[in-house]
């Protein structure tokens, strides 16, 4: 099985002011004369990690990455104002212009898959291909599957769901996303932080095929709160997309080479979404692998690197 490429450091970083409020952190890695690719991170709100640079052959790719609005080293950190899918699509175009790139491969996983599809459909002339992993189409039924009491994920991880549900009084459990949002938006920092930790505790415990059900996170509390708030902000608005938009507009990118990598046992972004995407986009190659949601699970890493290598070979 293929494994991640060796660790690399950026050869160039940028601070890109995209409006009067938001400034993005942008990195360029690999070969400055290589095949351009834009990496779109998940969450929404997760920010970049050094491991994200390692899905591409650094000798053959010019790898561009950025922290989306409110995440990572972009500022203001945790900001929700002017933070929608449309804003992020415009930001990707601003990053492309900054880098002086005409067209590039679009690569994203989880929430990054949503953004990759939305961007490529908005700007098909700027994409040379699309690789997505752990597909999330921004539909209400996907949000309900994982975060609401009538979804299916609670039946898979009942011990985790019990803790997630217990944080919300019984009378509010009919709309868990909104109930969590009210608490994460509370001016009392202790209330907001407790809700954010419970929210991400549920998510983190379902992220991989093999996991420790009682594991706890040592992530910086400020980042926990920012990520949870940005996620809830996007989920309660169904990713700021019209229902079924990414399937409706798939004809805009059907001419592009596409690869869809999906963990067969992904509980956060269930395989039905990848299947629906593949049915609407039969020209793309769907690869279901023995894994959960995480990009660094061996089977998913193997499939993604085979995909990026194959694209470079072409």
Q: Provide the annotated active-site residues.
A: 110, 266, 293
- How many helices (H) and strands (E) would you count in the chain? 11, 8
CA distance 234 to 140: 11
Q: Which residues contact 233 (CB under 8 A, 6 or more apart)?
A: 44, 80, 83, 181
Q: From edge to edge, which strands make up the β-sheet containing 61-66?
A: 12-17, 23-30, 61-66, 35-40, 104-109, 127-133, 258-263, 285-289
**Contact of 79 with 110, CB cutoff 8 Å:** no
* Cβ burial 149-177 (10 Å sphere, 16+ → b, else e): eebebbeebeebbeebbebbeeeeeeebb
Radius of gyration of the chain (CA): 19
Distance of CA 204 to the CA centre of its chain: 14
- Listed in order, strand segments (DSSP E) in 241-297 are 258-263, 285-289
Indicate the pairing of strand 258-263 with strand 127-133: parallel
CA distance 5 to 304: 12
Structure tokens that stand for 255 in this block? 């001419």
Element containing residue 121 per DSSP (H, E):
helix 111-122
Using DSSP's 3-state secondary structure scheme, residue 259 falls into strand
**Contact of 236 with 228, CB cutoff 8 Å:** no
């Amino acid at each position: 099985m293929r494994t991640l490429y060796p660790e690399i450091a950026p050869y160039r970083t940028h601070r890109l002011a995209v409006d009067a409020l938001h400034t993005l952190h942008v990195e360029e890695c690999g070969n400055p004369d290589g095949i351009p690719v834009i990496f779109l991170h998940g969450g929404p709100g997760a920010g970049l990690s050094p491991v994200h640079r390692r899905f591409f052959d650094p000798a053959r790719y010019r790898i561009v990455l950025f922290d989306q609005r409110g995440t990572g080293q972009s500022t203001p950190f945790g900001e929700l104002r002017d933070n929608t899918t449309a804003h992020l699509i415009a930001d990707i175009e601003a990053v492309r212009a900054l880098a002086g790139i005409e067209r590039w491969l679009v690569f994203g996983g989880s929430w990054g898959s949503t953004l990759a599809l939305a961007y490529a459909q908005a700007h098909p002339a700027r994409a040379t291909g699309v690789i997505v992993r752990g597909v999330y189409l921004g539909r209400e039924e996907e949000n309900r599957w994982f975060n609401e009491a009538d979804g299916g994920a609670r039946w898979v991880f009942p011990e985790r769901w019990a803790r997630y549900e217990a944080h919300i009084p019984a009378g509010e459990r009919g709309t868990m996303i909104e109930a969590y949002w009210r608490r994460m938006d509370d001016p009392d920092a202790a209330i907001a932080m407790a809700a954010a930790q419970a929210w991400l505790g549920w998510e983190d415990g379902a992220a991989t095929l093999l996991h420790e059900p009682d594991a706890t996170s040592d992530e910086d509390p400020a980042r926990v709160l920012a990520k949870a708030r940005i996620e809830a902000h996007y989920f309660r608005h169904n990713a700021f997309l019209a229902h079924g938009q990414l399937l409706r507009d798939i004809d805009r990118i059907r001419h592009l080479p596409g690869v869809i990598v999906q963990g067969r046992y992904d509980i956060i972004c269930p395989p039905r979404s990848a299947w629906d995407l593949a049915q609407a986009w039969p020209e793309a190659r769907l690869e279901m692998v023995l894994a959960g949601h995480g990009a660094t699970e061996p089977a998913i890493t193997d499939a993604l690197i085979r995909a990026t290598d194959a694209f470079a070979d072409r």
